[in-house]
A and B are shown apart, each in its own frame.
Chain A
Amino acid sequence: MIVRVSTALYRAALLCYPMAFRTRFGRELLSGFEDELRGRVATSTSAALGLTLLRCGGAVGQGLAARAQTEFRSRVLAGWSQELRVVARNLMRSPGHSLVSLAILSTAVGTSTLLFAIVYATLLAPSPYPDAERLVVGWGSNVSNGQLRDVVSGANYVDMSDGSTSFVALGAIKGDGAVLEEEGRPVVVPALRVTPEFFEALDVPATLGRTIDTTETFSGSEPVIVLSHQLWIERFESSPDVVGTRIRVDLEFATVIGVMGAEFGTLFPVQAYLPLYRDVIAAQDRTSYNYWMIGRLAETATIERASGELDATMDVIAETDPRLRNWSVLLEPLDTIGKVPVRAPMLALSAAVGLLALVATFNLAGLELVRGTTRTPEWAVRRALGGGRGHLVRLMVSETALLAGVGCLLSFPVATGGLRLLRHHAPATIPVPGSAAQVTSFHASFGWATLLWMALTALAIIGLSRVPALVQARGARLDTSTRTTATARMGRVRDSFVLLQLAFASALLMGAALAGSTMKNILDIDVGLAPENVLTMYAGNVSGDAATRARYFTDILGAVQQVPGVRSVGVNDYVPLQSEDDFAGLLLHDRPPPPPGSGLREEWRRVSSDYFATAGVAVLDGRGFEPADYTGGRPVAVINRAFASKHYPGADPVGETLTIWNGGIGDATIVGVVADVRRRGILVAAPPVLYAPFHLGSRGNMAVFVATEGPPEALLDSVREAIWSVDSSQPIDRVLTLTQVVDAAVGLHRFTLAVLLALAGIAVPLASLGAFGVTAFALRARRRELGIRLALGATHQRLAARVLRDAVALGVAGITGGLGLAALAGSLARSLLVGVTPYAIVPAAAVSCIVLASVIIATLIPVRGLRRVEAAESLRVE
């Protein structure tokens, strides 16, 4: 009984196999099963039942798999390979059309892929730090003095980190340079000085060795260094044995204790990490602001609670030190700090790339419609011969897939070439608004997500561009009685495609025009410098007392002045426009006293006597510094115009006196007023600045400015040798011409302009090509109508004027739409515009002229062919 039932069941399960397989093996499988079953029945009924279930299940699974395989082979593979052959033949038949389509597609897909690679890596990719939502950055904030994202002092940091329970770890960091040695010469690499809590907060272990621990952060402890991944690769050739070696850092030997991973440096573009000595920073003056804080919130803590806790500590400090009364702490999620500054440019570029993709889509759709109309008879014949709609759709899909595949391959060089250009021209870092901090401007990654995006974009562009042609193919009949209406309808669709292309291209061009106006306005800004023929570099890492440091820079000034071709030479604490902060505590004499407890704090710079002349800073009132000011006697000071307007409005500040608390300088007399020099980027107005002679509390590292007779680059080697002739162990770094410094300050805007111009440069000719193709085609399709008009007495000129009028109307409609779109986008990205509104008349007029001219030219070429239309001939042709 059980054998009979089980056999019947197995026989039924075998039905799942394809017929051919059953015919060949059915009996054998069945008899094998019966043999097996009899063996099991002899053992037990349950064993027989188990075997039945197992074999029936196997037969169903295997049968269905075999069936699917056979179906796939016979239908899909064979069918599609045939379709693909037909499609490839079709595409080869009109090589010009196919090549143009592929060029348009690969440009659109390449640019969109590149942008996605950047947007994904910069804005969307998961943070390299675990539980990044709990990471915060802490700024010192003095809103009443306009300092929103400033630094905190070491002593205040120590108190805050000791008195807080909201953080798992709260570290302090300071951007700095580390002096390494290369071929016997000192070189400076960007570095971060950090407390161990910095690594603890970010919670990323070293990939080799370890990070800094608490025993290494007290003065006198063994010097150590942690290398970035990049430095490890470039300087140490990825040697795994680097950990434990001793290298020269800042003129002494330090032990390499670890190497960080490549991802770790995403937000901090530095090459090395050095310890901050906790006892040293704790002993610093409470107004010696130097550090940012990076913290990891405890699981139960919130930003608000942590802020409240830190502010409470600051309040306690302010009770004993009234100078800190207006200072609080601003905590922000670390994740947003890296993303906020790049969001607006990314948005603008995404919109531009999106517009280009749309122009490309409608362009291809227009081309396809033109080609589709010529292919209508082919569709009709295929349908008449029994080709179902499915067959036609499959042909279309094959064509789409083939074009998209080839388009993807061709877009690789576009994307990678674009990335190379970006790496070369885009600014490496972008300032965080309202702060001296800089973050990496963009990263790019070509991973699976990017490849998927590339494939989807290609399919979307090609797929969308085929929809109108598909709709057209639906109506394909051998019967020609409906062709005229269909052609007229398609004509309107084609016109609307041209209109959309012109609109998107105009919007893109308007974006470029607005970026151009912005650039012009920025270049017109007076930065307060005469940057031509001036070389700048940072020199020195001099330790020792102020007198030793001052002597070093005095000797440098003398040595460089002797170099033939040097006009003048000066030093300043920093190069302007690079967001450096340095404040002095001041007391102005004969002025209303500041509110009790809130000391006056302004930017200050220490400079040499020839600095103003060398950098081209104009002396507006009184005098600049003279050599006598550097030889002792009562200190003098020079202020900038912003300082004068803020503190001496309507009065002559020359001759006024003040006290400079920093460096024990004491009382000084103001001897002159100089022009404002932009400090924090080119768009931020210069703050009040006080200049003092550099020998009063000179820094160990200063910026040297060298004005030259000819091109400054030519003198670089001689200037460097002159500086090293004073002390060859001192480093020289960040060598730039002052022109490059100004250029770098406008880097982001220049870069946005260049990209928009490039995209508009592609989109406008593309849209014109669309207009040309459609006009040429429409004229050919209207040959009969034009012939009749000629026969009825119309002249060629009138016909040409009519065609041109239609094209101009289309152009005007497209431009109007495009300008509206640009105005909308511009008002969303106002932060990128300087001195120009999205509704500006001049750029709009220029864009209108360019687009309209290109439409007219694109129309005139085919219209010239109208002259050859003869009434009788065109009627005969029909």
Chain B
Amino acid sequence: MDAHPDAPPVVVTDTLKNALRIVALDQRARARGVRLGQSLSDARALAPDLDCHPADDAADRALLLTIAAWCERYTPLVALDAASGRDHGLFMDLTGCAHLLGGEAALVADLEARLGAQGFHVRLCLADTPGAAWAMARYGQARIIPEGAHGEAVLPLSLSGLRLEPALVVSLGRVGLKTIGCIAALPRAPLAARFGARLMQRLDQALGREAEAISPLMPVAELSTERRFAEPIARQEDISQVIAALSAGIIEPLERRGLGLRRCRVRLFRVDGHVSALEVQTARPLRDARMIARLFAERIAGLHDDLDMGFGFDLIRLDVAHADPFEGAQAEMMAGNAGGHGHDALVDRLGARLGLERVQRFVLADTHIPERSFGREPVARLASHPGARRAASGAAALALLPDLPTPDAIITRPLILFDRPELMQTIAEVPDGPPLRFRWRGASYEVARSEGPERIACEWWRDGRGARTRDYFRVEDRQGYRFWLFRHGLYGRETSEPAWYMHGLFA
């Protein structure tokens, strides 16, 4: 980072081998003679005004991820360099991307200039293999290694450039092998036998004899469209307009592939390097640009705090993260289905504005414990095809609730269930009978009618051996309120003082 000319030298320290040591330093510190790995007390002797900060790996990683997200403006394939430890780095696979920015040289210059404007010094190299680029970026001077020339280019570089363990580099150095060229010329078998197969693998990766894949941070979008701006835009209307235009542009490729959009992401690249992402999902494959734009408008409107525009966005990209075959063209023609479409569109809009996890449907679980017998799943996460899901879970519902069409319509389950049963005080006639009176939420009730118990055994395989049985009672008090309450534990067998809980309200 560039700072004020009179600012003190900056170093980052961490505890290594029982001493505070320098793990990172800036140019001014280097000019004063401070070196990496030096203990802090030695460094202070050289530069008493040292501005030192403790190392924070989590913050470093977060910053690196932010830069990685920003780098996706050049290619969707950006990966963290896992091997380099504290020596942070990123891999970008630029195959087929350079021509979009006017060639490799222009791309590298643009990347360096933009990151420089954000305040970062970068060392970078563009080469045919990840290994060669890694070595040259750290130990060489070239920015771009021409196609096919990486084999010769890396030979004079230090062996550390092969991403080896430091101990291995030291032991290779002891036998006089200092550069990559030294070992490239040697017979392979003895080398591998003495120093391990890893050395040969790294050498082959650098020279391109062995393929190496990088693992990108984000899945590659099925379709992607973007717009770049010479002047950053910062008005919400402009952004909405651009998203509408991008949505219109994505329709034609979707049609050509016979697909409809299910999940879609817009990324807004701010000029200062921050990237905001907005995502919407749809309940059924969608191929209507106006609907897509409207969903994004809802998504922006539903943000807790406004979109932080800063100095504006200079690149807006729309990715189709997931698409399904689109069979709606003919279904829409059938009369009567319009209602279903309206309903699904409503669910999409609600999810876009309020958050996908706030629009839910019931799913049933295979257990008799009431509060576990169902869950609430976001509609967006349920099975993709609405028809199939309804059929499948409808059957499950009937199987689990055999008394749905009861002949005598006896109601045994309450309409309202409390998320967690509420403790009450009771008086019962006999220890294992229904309560006579109870007190709940500060008011007392006298029981006029009651039915029960309905015994629901505990799930010992989940709650353990000591879990208690519940005896459920339906009771009605003298005013007609109908409650569902249970005694927790069998009197005498499981406990001597069973507690009573209120669990639900009948209609």
A and B: partners?
no
Residues of B within 8 A of A (CB): none
